[in-house]
Amino acid sequence: MRHLAACILLTLLLVGCAAPADPDKAQESIQVIAMDTAMLITTYGERSSAAAYAAEDVIRDLEKQLSRTKEDSVVSQLNAAGRRMLVEGDLIPLLSSSGWFYELTSGAFDITVAPVVSAWGFTTDSFQVPSQEELHELLKLVDGSEVSVTPAYDDGEGTKATVRLGPGQSIDLGAIAKGYAANKVLEVFREYGLPRAKAELGGNVLVLGDRPDETPWRVGIQDPKRPDDPNGFIGVLELTDSFAVTSGGYQRYFEENGKRYHHIIDPSTGYPADSGLTSVTVVADCEMENGTMCDALSTALFIMGEEKALDFWRSGGVPDSNFELVLVTEDGRVLITEGLADRFVRDESSGYSYETIS
Ligand code: ADP
Ligand code: MG
């Protein structure tokens, strides 16, 4: 009996000692299907589980507010109301950012492209090629400069502002919402004091700290020619404390009469962007607003094409913010801007040629 008691005491001591010694032993990994995307959140540290589920809550709350396909979302209500509406919550900063990136990208990023996205069937998955006449009519509604937001105020129950759209306009936040969600997930990770974590919200990746073995996180960049091959990378980014966001025509598309139509629409033509790029990856440090910036830019620079995208990068296109790029071209080149060169590991067997851009 005494022997048994000693054994129990010893076991308790061992268990008690082992648990808190290594925070990396406390790890949580959860999958979240939201915003039309399979997401993966991996967290480390003593509060890893609570942080992962708090991040999930934040994402689900955003989806509820911002989805165009959920009738009771604020965005759906605004689109139905048309012209003018009092709104609250995350839509307010998102609309400000959207206006900002509309200006900076000379209209390549434009949330009022919504009716055109719908005409192609990307909102409902009933894909079709719209007629020239239909696109011509719908393009009259596409003009991000007509969206305005009054300064936000707090009425004691939350932040509010009045949003105005142009006549007949509607908005689609698909190109920026996941980046904004990544900002908020970072906020959660910091709140819970996590030493390291990774959130993959589809093409929007956030890495906090480094990996448990103290090497950088590895973020593969998909070869646009091999979208279904889970190991089909053109290279790997080695990152710590960063956002990395990829947009590509291979991610969501349909085919008709042997032609492929993807979901990133050039607001100047109403057609899927055909700029000679097959994917754009934007990388920036873990500053709070950078998730949104990377998401908006990956979409816009994909539309702008190689020359304009590199000019935008060279001229420091976003005041007071730094970002780096990996562009993949239709004719088999991978262009890496110099600030990223030593964090990009090429896959020489991919068949692409690689250039560092300065
Ligand atoms: P994903 O959502 O696949 O990560 P993006 O961030 O590039 O890719 O966003 C594409 C989505 O953004 C489209 O599905 C559509 O809803 C919307 N969109 C398409 N073209 C534009 C555009 N020119 N400006 C803003 N949003 C757009
Ligand atoms: Mg985007």
Q: What percentage of the chain exceeds 90 in pLDDT? A: 88
Distance CA 71, CA 212 (A): 43
Report in angstroms the alpha-carbon separations of 258 from 129, 223, 255, 342.
12, 21, 6, 40
Residue 326 confidence (pLDDT) above 80: yes
Average pLDDT, the chain: 93
Proximal ligand: closest to the CA of 251: 1
Residue 218 confidence (pLDDT) above 50: yes
Q: What is the pTM of this model?
A: 0.93
Reported as a single tens digit per residue, the pLDDT across 166-208 is 999 999 999 999 999 999 999 999 999 999 999 999 999 999 9
Helix (H) or strand (E) holding 134: helix 132-139
Q: How far is CA 320 from the centre of its chain?
A: 20
Structure confidence at residue 17 (pLDDT): 44
Decide the pairing of beta strands 233-239 and 217-222. antiparallel
Proximal ligand: closest to the CA of 144: 1
Residue 137 confidence (pLDDT) above 80: yes
Structure confidence at residue 230 (pLDDT): 85
Burial 173-205 (b: 16+ CB within 10 A, else e): bbbbbbbbbbbbbbebbeebebbbbbbbbbbbb
Residue 326 tokens read as 């990996």
Question: In terms of pLDDT, which residue wins out, 148 or 230?
Answer: 148
Q: What is the mean pLDDT of residues 55-83?
A: 94
Contact 282 CB / ligand 1 (< 6 Å): no
Contact 196 CB / ligand 1 (< 6 Å): no
Reported as a single tens digit per residue, the pLDDT across 241-253 is 999 999 999 989 9
Ligand 2 centroid to Cα of residue 255, in Å, is 22
Q: What are phi and psi of 180, to 5 degrees?
A: -65, -40
Distance CA 303, CA 305 (A): 6
Confidence band, pLDDT 50/70/90 cuts, at residue 21: low
